């Protein structure tokens, strides 16, 4: 059986951040990077816009402005992003503050989905040149903590340190892992919302600020804006008992690809549950199942014009006569979002959309489409043993799946932070 100084599960930004930090600290370190997919399915691959300003991407439970600034500086130094210019924002800022909305000024870069894939390949090649063993299409399954053995779907390997960074798709896996290993955790919050798609001229702010971050009252915010060659996509998830469901999302290709004149972004509301709701994931899965029922097995889309009139959107209504663009995720079912979305979320989101339309007039054009559901699960909150995300002796849980980040840069930073913990304890 092969034995490694460190086994890292997941080649998303959290796993990569940890790997690069460890090889820098201890050249020749025996490192195994396990990736379930053929190529990292992680978020670096999707649109790859990176935010370099607190608090975007950093859950407040684990990060504050000082700590995140220190780690962000290290992420930036390593990734050397091209920070995008921002301009002409004073008018939007004034309009926002007049109605109790904040426009956060965030330093951003954008590679696009194709650029992200190139970056992943380059990073993995660099790791291999440093002697890191990368094993793709090999899934981590479980651990024997006594013997320090990691089991995969192919073999057993020995580890001294184990870093588990399986991302949002690994959320469920991580819950099982924590249960099996008696790691206490809470899972009491979720973000639920819609993805908005409209024509570029109805949301022109993106020409001056790639991913504008508006913070509305009632814990509602804009999130993950995409423009240029921008598309809405659906991600497939499985419930605990094996039922599929979808969450929509968005991405864009780099500026090398022809623009399609569309913009998409999410508006999400965060909710934290108290007793008797024990699990945000269970709640989210039930919401998503209701959306599946309402949409006949697909996410739902509804035109703003129909939503205002309180009627469902029909497939025949998606035409040039009343409306002016073809939805980029046309496999969604035209329908009525209010049949599937609880009013706590719907009310806050509709209010936020009306405020946004005051700040950026036109976004609520009748042709604008709302896609539902967009659900973010990053609420596994393990009870960590230290500040470096160690959840059990020599086992670290990091990234979006473990709730230590909410975006690429935060995930990369949490990888560095876990590696810092290992370096400190091992004297590397
Ligand atoms: C469509 C889409 C667009 C996004 N756009 C952006 C964006 O533009 N900017 C931004 O900051 N964030 C974006 N995000 C969020 C971003 O993807 C995440 O915040 C980030 O990738 C989290 O990093 P991670 O390393 O924790 O997890 P991930 O990046 O998800 O990586 C986890 C990896 O672990 C692997 N894995 C899972 N389980 C196992 C297992 N058992 N064994 C082995 N491997 C396993 C997965 O295959 C995956 O490659 C987007 C997400 C999506 C889905």
Q: Is residue 101 part of a domain?
A: no
Separation CA 146–CA 287 (nearest Å): 39
Q: Are 166 and 237 found together in one domain?
A: no
Q: Are residues 229 and 367 in the same domain?
A: yes
Strands 220-238 and 262-272: antiparallel
- pLDDT per residue over 93-121, tens digit each? 999 999 999 999 999 999 998 999 999 99
Q: Are 102 and 55 in contact (CB under 8 A)?
A: no
Same domain, 260 and 275: yes
- The tokens of 362 are what? 């036109």
**8 A C-beta contact, residue 228 and residue 255:** yes
Q: Is the pLDDT of residue 156 over 70?
A: yes
- Report how far apart, in Å, the C-alpha atoms of 207 and of each of 42, 231, 380 are: 27, 17, 36
Best mutation site among 33, 36, 43 for ligand 1 pocket (most ligand atoms within 8 Å of CB): 43
Mean pLDDT of the chain: 94
How many distinct structural domains can be found in the chain? 2
- The confidence band for 322, taking pLDDT boundaries of 50, 70 and 90, is low
Asked whether residue 280 carries a pLDDT value surpassing 90, the answer given is no
Task: Report d(CA 225, CA 223) in Å as an integer.
Answer: 6
DSSP reduced 3-state for 418: helix
Task: Note the pLDDT of residue 425.
Answer: 96
* Residue 227, phi then psi, degrees to nearest 5: -145, 180
Torsion of CA 352, 354, 359, 361, to 10 degrees: 140
Query: Which of residues 334, 359, 376 is at a domain's end?
Result: 376
In a domain, 100, yes or no: no
Question: What is the SS3 assignment for 164?
Answer: strand
pLDDT digits (tens, 9 = 90+) for 241-271: 888 999 999 999 988 889 999 999 999 999 9
Q: Are residues 386 and 372 in the same domain?
A: no
Taking 70 as the threshold, does the pLDDT of residue 385 lie above it?
yes
For the CA atoms of 87, 91, 95, 97, what is the dihedral angle to 10 degrees? 60
397-426 burial code (b ≥16 CB/10 A, e <16): bbbbbbbbbbbbbbbbbbbbbbbbbbbeeb
| CA-43 nearest atom, ligand 1 | 17
Question: Is 89 a member of any domain?
Answer: no
Residue 369 and residue 314 in one domain: yes
- Give residue 363 CA to ligand 1 midpoint distance, Å: 29
Structure tokens at 202: 């109805």
Structure tokens at 111: 């590679």
- Same domain for 392 and 370: no
pLDDT band for position 359 (50/70/90)? very high
Please check whether residues 166 and 36 belong to one and the same domain.
Answer: yes
As a whole number, mean pLDDT of residues 162-174 equals: 91
Flag whether 417 is in a domain. Answer: yes
Q: Distance (Å, rounded) from C-alpha 369 to C-alpha 195?
A: 8
Structure tokens at 116: 């992200």
Q: Domain check: are 172 and 261 in the same one?
A: no
Domain containing residue 20: 3-83+108-185+380-426
Residue 93 located in a structural domain? no
Q: Ligand 1 pocket check: which of 408, 412, 413, 416 to mutate, most ligand atoms within 8 Å of Cβ?
A: 408
Q: Are residues 180 and 201 in the same domain?
A: no
Asked if the structure places residue 90 within a domain, the reply is no
Does one domain contain both 142 and 78? yes
Do 250 and 369 belong to one domain? yes
Q: What is the mean pLDDT of residues 301-314?
A: 95
Ligand 1, CB within 6 Å, residue ranges: 9-15, 34-37, 40-43, 46-51, 57, 139-140, 165-170, 173, 224, 233, 235, 249, 251, 399-401, 405-408, 411
Tell me, yes or no, whether 326 and 396 share the same domain: no
Query: pLDDT value at position 379?
Result: 64
Last residue of a domain, one of 376, 399, 417: 376
Contact assessment for residue 113 and residue 256, using Cβ atoms and an 8 Å cutoff: no
- Mean pLDDT, range 193-214, rounded to an integer: 96
What share of residues in the chain are helix, strand, coil (percent, to 5)?
Answer: 35, 30, 35
**Backbone phi, psi, residue 288, to 5°:** -65, -35
More confident residue, 87 or 384: 384
Residue nearest to atom 51 of ligand 1 (CA): 43
Q: Give bridge partners of residue 214 from the DSSP assignment.
A: 103
pLDDT, tens only, 46-55 = 788 999 999 9
Share of the chain above pLDDT 90, in %: 83
Residues 6+ apart with CB under 8 A from 85: none
Average pLDDT over residues 7-34: 97
pLDDT of 378 strictly over 70: no
DSSP H helical ranges for 278-396: 280-294, 304-309, 343-359
pLDDT in tens, 70-84: 999 999 999 999 999
For 312, which DSSP code?
-
CATH number at residue 163: 3.50.50.60
Contacts of 261 (CB under 8 A, 6+ apart): 199, 200, 325
Among 376, 397, 416, give the residue marking a domain's end: 376
Bond preceding residue 335 cis, omega within 30 of 0: no
157 found inside a domain: yes
Domain-located, residue 103: no
Task: Choose among 89, 84, 87: nearest CA to 108.
Answer: 84
- 98 Cβ partners below 8 Å, 6+ apart? none
């Amino acid at each position: 059986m092969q034995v490694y100084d460190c086994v890292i599960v997941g080649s998303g930004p959290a796993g990569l951040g940890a790997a690069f930090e460890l090889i820098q600290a201890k050249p020749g370190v025996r490192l195994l990077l396990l990736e379930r997919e053929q190529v990292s399915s992680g978020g670096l691959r999707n649109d790859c816009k990176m935010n370099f300003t607190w608090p975007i991407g950093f859950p407040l439970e684990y990060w504050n402005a000082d700590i995140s600034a220190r780690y962000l500086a290290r992420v930036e130094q390593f990734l050397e992003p091209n920070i995008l210019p921002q301009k002409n924002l004073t008018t939007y800022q004034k309009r926002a503050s007049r109605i109790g909305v904040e426009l956060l000024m965030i330093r951003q870069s954008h590679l696009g989905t194709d650029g992200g894939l190139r970056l992943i390949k380059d990073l993995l090649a660099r790791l291999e040149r440093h002697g890191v063993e990368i094993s793709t299409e090999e899934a981590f399954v479980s651990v024997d903590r006594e013997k320090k053995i990691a089991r995969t779907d192919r073999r057993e390997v020995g580890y001294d340190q184990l870093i588990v960074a399986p991302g949002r798709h690994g959320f469920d896996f991580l819950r099982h892992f924590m249960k099996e290993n008696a790691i206490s955790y809470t899972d009491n919050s979720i973000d639920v919302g819609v993805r908005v798609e409209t024509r570029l001229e109805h949301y022109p702010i993106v020409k001056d600020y790639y991913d504008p971050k508006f913070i509305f009252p009632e814990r509602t915010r804009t999130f993950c804006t995409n423009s240029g060659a921008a598309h809405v996509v659906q991600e497939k998830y499985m419930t605990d008992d094996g039922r599929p469901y979808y969450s929509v999302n968005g991405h864009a290709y780099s500026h090398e690809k022809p623009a399609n004149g569309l913009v998409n972004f999410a508006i999400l509301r965060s909710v934290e549950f108290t007793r008797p709701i024990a699990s945000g994931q269970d709640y989210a899965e039930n919401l998503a199942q209701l959306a599946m029922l309402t949409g006949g097995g697909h996410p739902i889309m509804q035109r703003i014009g129909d939503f205002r009139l309180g009627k469902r959107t029909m497939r025949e209504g998606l035409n040039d006569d009343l409306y002016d663009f073809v939805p980029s995720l046309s496999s969604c079912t035209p329908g009525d979002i209010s049949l599937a979305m609880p009013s706590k979320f719907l009310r806050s989101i509709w209010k936020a959309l009306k405020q946004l339309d005051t700040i950026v007039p036109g976004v609520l054009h009748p042709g604008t489409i709302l896609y539902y559901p967009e659900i973010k699960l990053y609420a596994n909150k393990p009870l960590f043993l230290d500040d470096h995300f160690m959840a059990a002796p020599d086992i670290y849980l990091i990234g979006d799946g473990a709730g230590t980040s909410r975006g690429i840069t935060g995930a990369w930073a949490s990888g560095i932070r876990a590696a810092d913990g290992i370096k400190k304890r091992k004297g590397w």
